Structure 1
Amino acid sequence: MSKFPNIQIRDAEFPGDKEVVGQLFKAYAQSLPVSLDFQNFDHELAELPGKYASEKGGALWLLCSSAGNGDAAAMPTEGKKAGFSTARQDEQAIGCIAIRPFFTTPTTTASATLLAHSTSPPTKTCELKRLYLAPETRGLGLSKPLMEVAISHARKLGYKEMLLDTLRNMTTARKIYEGYGFEEVDSYYENPNDAVFYRLKL
């Protein structure tokens, strides 16, 4: 991160960041060669932060760039024009990542209320979601700090394992995940696409 002094990762704040998170999530979805309708994606957007809310055991981060003291050359590429404007002055959200609890059985309203007042994770398993970088910022190693903050925070919350799925032909993403120790496992939910499933023991 020291190579890019005007780039930072921060928690997404709601309701202030709901619009920019939605824009990033939509950009993520549009970058895929498949539809996310099977994940009820429109509902996820409408209900943000939804399962990513901290009180539900989730977390959502923004990767942001800013001019910083009037320095318009913050990025080594055209990254300063990438992403989406946030509610903060001179700040662009250029990426995101999130985690949410993963349940093998649906939670009830009563159990969800109890979880909101608990200091321990609602389950031992979390799921990594929505890793996205604006196209102009890719190849700069910026996925690394996003991955590290998500994994570190999951451990801090007390999760014991992290799951994720990606498309089989997304070789760059798969190399990133495997570089952090994710191992391929059997499908943990029904996905109609040619997907690969991973698990990381935390």
Structure 2
Amino acid sequence: MRNQKLYSIKRALFPKDLKDVLCLYREYISSTKADLGFQNNEKDFLSIAELYEGESSQIFLASDSERVLGCAAFRRYDDDCCEMKRVYVCPQARGIKLGETLVRRLLLEAKTVGYKKMCLDVLPEFKAAYKLYKNMGFDDHEPITSNPVQGTKYLAINLEAYNKASHNQPQ
């Protein structure tokens, strides 16, 4: 699984993709060292289709011909700002810039919807993700949500100024 041309990215549709989304979300949560119990994920999972219906909040799935490989989402914060959520790539699909491709898709879709800014938080254990976001043009930012995990970083990008050609591109 090293050829980046072997996967596709599509918007998750509910209820059809619910099982895949929940499987990836649970895999992400179990992969972290941090206790994410404060997020009350299981409650959110019960209403995920409603949280991500319409254009203002969207989930994307990456897959190859055999399985789902990763996901990424953005969710409305207010009229001008959305929050990046749950960027996750399965271990067997890492190293092919799939995470970067998913993030680029989020940025373009959020900009198309009309958001001016995308914010996110990054747990301290995700150093590679933090570096990726910084390389893509995200800057340090004040938190828009509460995260009690010590060392969490908060970032944002101006979507109005974002141009995929102006930042580092996958080779």
- The normalised TM-score by structure 1 is 0.73
Q: Once the 2 structures are TM-superposed, how far is the Cα of residue 48 of structure 1 from its aligned partner?
A: 1.5
Contact 1:124 1:161 in 2 (8 A): yes
Q: Which runs of 5+ in 2 are unaligned?
A: 160-171
Q: How does 1:29-40 map to 2 (within 5 A)?
A: 29-40=29-40
Quote the offset at 1:126 in angstroms.
0.3
Q: Is 1:19 aligned with 2:19?
A: yes
Cα offset for 1:30?
0.7
Q: Secondary structure of 2:16's partner?
A: coil
Mapped partners of 1:155, 1:142: distance in 2: 20
Q: What is the number of equivalent residue pairs in this alignment?
A: 156
- Structure 1 gap ranges (5+): 67-90, 104-122
Task: Give the secondary structure class of the aligned counterpart of 1:98.
Answer: strand
2:95 alignment counterpart: 139
Percentage of pairs with the same residue: 31
Q: Report whether the alignment pairs 1:100 with 2:111.
A: no
Q: Please tell me the residue identity of whatever aligns with 1:135.
A: P
Q: Which runs of 4 or more aligned residues in structure 1 lie more than 4 Å from their structure 2 counterparts after TM superposition?
A: none
Alignment of 1:22-171 (within 5 A): 22-55=22-55, 57-66=56-65, 91-103=66-78, 123-171=79-127
Residue 8 of structure 2 aligns to a residue in which SS?
strand
State which structure, 1 or 2, has the greater radius of gyration over its C-alpha atoms. Answer: 1
- Matched position secondary structure for 1:53: coil
How far did 1:180 drift? Answer: 1.2
- What's the Cα RMSD here? 1.3
CA distance, structure 1, for counterparts of residue 73 and residue 39 of structure 2: 15
2:46 and 2:144 map into 1 onto residues whose CA distance is: 25
